[in-house]
Structure 1
């Protein structure tokens, strides 16, 4: 009998659980539709930021020998318009202009409406009645008709357009901010801070605003696509962004005359408008569900 002992059979080490990939984590946090919406919005933002580097041509560069070139033409992958201008280059610039107007107007609307709502909650009485009356008047006013009248009378400029769009929807923020501020004051922590010597501005900016910011942010995501559509409508009617600049609505307005002969001029910006507004609306709905404690 041999003294050598048989070596123990090697045991297989326990397998470590497979690491959860980034894609799986994202899918757990957001539905596929929201992920696609976020990717599209991020792509639009990056396009607006790096538009100067992404444009293959200047937006005013004309090539009459290649006018009305269709989709897929080498050098003009989205075709050209009636003056031989590259549709892709104009689309990239239009995305930048439309997003700048929409972002600027949304921020102005949120700041103005939130300030008016906080003033109504702080002073009450005739100040509150005045703010609510202005909000009711704004809600009942046909904003498109008012915008057409203002732009026709004062002329069109980028600053005026952003300021005018910034008045759209401010009554929503005012109502939300007023209601949430009154509710926060009733909870007692705002009154306690006042008793410690805090000024009203500090109470609203440092204590009440952080508690209502999530609701206001969700409201901004819902107002943003409406402002894009409003600006597109004004530009479509010829009272928005003026040449040589270009916006999405501007491109749709000019392309309608060539809808039967060159539909790509109107099709490309129309698709971007639809997908962008839909994506932001999906993100807004998802944020509202995530930030609403009653749903959870």
Structure 2
């Protein structure tokens, strides 16, 4: 009942709205494919789709790669007390709003911000970081890195240590053990963490707007701009449904890869 009320019904209603029309800035129940034709014939939609998908994939890969050494060190190198402290430190960022953290990054990355002040003290030229693609990716990392590390850690903690010892006894080095034993054993958690990262960054609009300056249009900003231009909720719903279908396809592919049996 919970899933029907808060997931299935809103998605179905969103899909229904895509066939409605707008008359005098008000939604009018209708059955027309004009909204789908309008969105799918606009070049800016495909540009935003490719950019959003590419940035989400890139963020999922890079953030997962950064998070894995942290999660591995906490799971295999830390004592129990230090591990508990690390878990607390991973959870603390969620005590504050994501928007507040993004505003804090504006202070750090601005042309007269903390980083460029340090560079000026070192007699180095300033670097443009705010309102750039790099700033957007930093915002994505702020959003996802603690969560990805936490999910990977929860998976690595339960890796059978006997398998690790057996790998070393059979002559496998440390890196080989990580690649052939630990990563396959924690594959499901690693894939789920990357999937969460993809989902969060694919639909995020805060970082592209406040750290990227809105200079590159992503799908979330397309939805905002579409709604603002004449209350075109049906056209915005088309973009939203397209995003949902993309997320479902990626999620199913990731789950299949995570749970498939190796040959």
Structure 1: which 5+ residue stretches go unaligned? 1-70, 80-85
The 1:153–1:78 alpha-carbon spacing in structure 2 relative to 1, beyond 3 Å, is farther
Name the counterpart of 1:99: 53
**TM-score, with length taken from structure 1:** 0.57
- Work out the CA distance in 2 between the residues paired with 1:121 and 1:233: 32
Name the counterpart of 2:180: 206
Matches within 5 A, 1:113-262: 113-125=67-79, 128-151=83-106, 154=109, 155-186=130-161, 188-230=162-204, 232-235=205-208, 239-240=211-212, 242-243=214-215, 245-260=216-231
Q: What SS does structure 2 have at the residue aligned with 1:215?
A: helix
**Cα RMSD, aligned residues only:** 3.6
**TM-score, with length taken from structure 2:** 0.63
Name the counterpart of 1:271: 238
- Work out the CA distance in 1 between the residues paired with 2:137 and 2:201: 10
Q: Which has the larger radius of gyration?
A: 1
The 1:109–1:144 alpha-carbon spacing in structure 2 relative to 1, beyond 3 Å, is farther
1:169 Cα shift? 2.8
String of CA shifts for 1:12-60, please: whole Å, max 9, x gaps: xxxxxxxxxxxxxxxxxxxxxxxxxxxxxxxxxxxxxxxxxxxxxxxxx
The 1:130–1:214 alpha-carbon spacing in structure 2 relative to 1, beyond 3 Å, is same
Aligned length: 207
Contact 2:144–2:200 (8 Å) recurs in 1? no
Name the counterpart of 1:78: 38
User: Which is bigger in relative contact order (C-alpha 8 A, separation at least 6)?
Assistant: 2
Contact 1:106–1:166 (8 Å) recurs in 2? no
- Work out the CA distance in 1 between the residues paired with 2:84 and 2:166: 27
Structure 2: which 5+ residue stretches go unaligned? 1-32, 110-129
- Work out the CA distance in 1 between the residues paired with 2:42 and 2:236: 10
